[in-house]
Structure 1
Amino acid sequence: MKLKICGMKYPDNILEVGSLLPDYMGFIFWPKSARYFDGDIPELPKSIKKTGVFVNESISVIEEKVTKYNLQAVQLHGQESVEFCSELKSKFGTSIEIIKVFSADENFDFSVLKPYESVCDYFLFDTKGKLPGGNGTTFDWKILEKYQSPKPFFLSGGIGIAELDSIKEILKTNLPLYAIDINSKFEIEPGLKNTSLCKDALQCISTIKK
């Protein structure tokens, strides 16, 4: 079970959270976000995959950010098409993981995932809300029972310490849950993470065995 801590913004806080060694650390490059990142990423342990989060961005801008920040993963949080993902995959090959986000609610149509399987490394399910992400609420995880894809996925959307315990139930199934993505429930303010809570999350994740 992997852990991604998303919405990082402040250098000192990035270093503090980085010292906990999460598997992924997310930086949001969507200007309308309260966690928009436009600074410098300090030197992090090589085991942490720096992930750029984009919303309907151009391939040229994504390529620029990947190069500037030496990103290891790209998270697409908008209405990016299969063709767009395919072009990104062709450009970066295996050097960059592509994570395609889908906003989920009780009416989500899982058939839309099929064409993306060959052009993305992972899916990510977040709660459908007013914003592309960071709405701070969970969706009904029971809808994941309809998930038929072999593609591993991230689970996101308003996850706090209390919700982490419920993840054990998902792991009793055959669902290919790969990682948990946390953000707003572990903050002091937007972009500033509570390091102690993040440490608790990592400890909790480490005890969850599939």
Structure 2
Amino acid sequence: MALVKICGLQTLSHVEAVAKLPVDYIGFVFARSKRQVAPRTAGELIRAMRDASAGTASRPKAAGVFVNPSMDELEAVLGEAPLDVVQLHGQESPAFCSEVKERWPAVQVFKVFSLSGGASGEAGDGGAFRLEPYRGVVDGMLIDTFDPVYGGGSGKTFAWDAIPPYLEWCRGAGIPLLVAGGLQPGNVGELLRTYAPDGVDVSSGVETEGVKDLDKITSFVERVRNDV
């Protein structure tokens, strides 16, 4: 069954509602974004998430989204927000990812690679071969559509036929591959049926006028869980 990550939550009511759905990750954005949350706020939301999901069949993990953070920034955020996953969305090196894992062994590290939304198979990182240095130093991979301002979160899809080499590499490395970029309730089923990634990550595709929409979130989760 595909993993589901709902990213960019900012309010208590949304976090408590989504925590009761069969989702695997709830994402909190610490990078520069309209969805950015302060570390202390995120800490409060994460505690509410865990309280709300207590007793449910699935308890989501808290993922923090960063773009080229320093170790000091990570330390400051993790001191306030008890994250389960650090998701690195910039140009973080394998050595940096390894250091994060060494300093916070209880926290998983996901590395994001951004792909062009244009030509089929074009990858902004130079292709799947660039993944090899990350073998053994990350716990998951995510591919998203490149955005020149924020790195990701553009709400646009990339050419999905670029997925197979990444998926093959991740399967060989024994880590999950999540796909993001322009996903919404109407197309996530097609993605999963055609390319079968290990998980999906959505943010703007479950929003209405820039605000998280619980009906769209519920529909997205239902499509993943029931239609595939």
TM-score (structure 1 length as normaliser): 0.89
Does residue 81 of structure 2 align to residue 69 of structure 1? yes
**Structure 1 residues without counterparts, runs of 5 or longer:** 172-176
The percent identity for this pair of structures is 31
Query: Could you list the per-position Cα deviations for residues 34-67 of structure 1 after superposition, in whole angstroms to 9, with x for gaps in the alignment?
Result: 0011123151125110111001111122122223
Aligned to 2:159: 140
Letter paired with 1:97: Q
1:75-124: CA deviations, max 9, x gaps? 0011101110010111122x111110000133221111011121100010
Query: Gapped runs of 5+ residues in structure 2?
Result: none
Pairing partner for 2:186 from 152, 159, 162: 162
Greater RCO (CA < 8 Å, at least 6 residues apart): 1
CA distance 1:165–1:21, change in 2 (3 Å): closer
Verify: 1:180 aligned to 2:200, yes or no.
yes
SS state at 2:131 partner = helix
- For 1:189 and 1:36, the matched residues in 2 are separated by 17
Aligned to 1:203: 222
TM-score (norm 2): 0.83
Partner of 2:60: 48
Structure 1 vs Structure 2 CA RMSD: 1.6
Question: Is the Cα contact below 8 Å between 1:168 and 1:208 reproduced in 2?
Answer: no
What does residue 122 of structure 2 align with? 107
Counterpart position of 1:14: 15
Moved over 4 A (4+): none
Cα distance in 1 for partners of 2:209, 2:104 equals 34
Question: Number of residues paired by the alignment?
Answer: 201
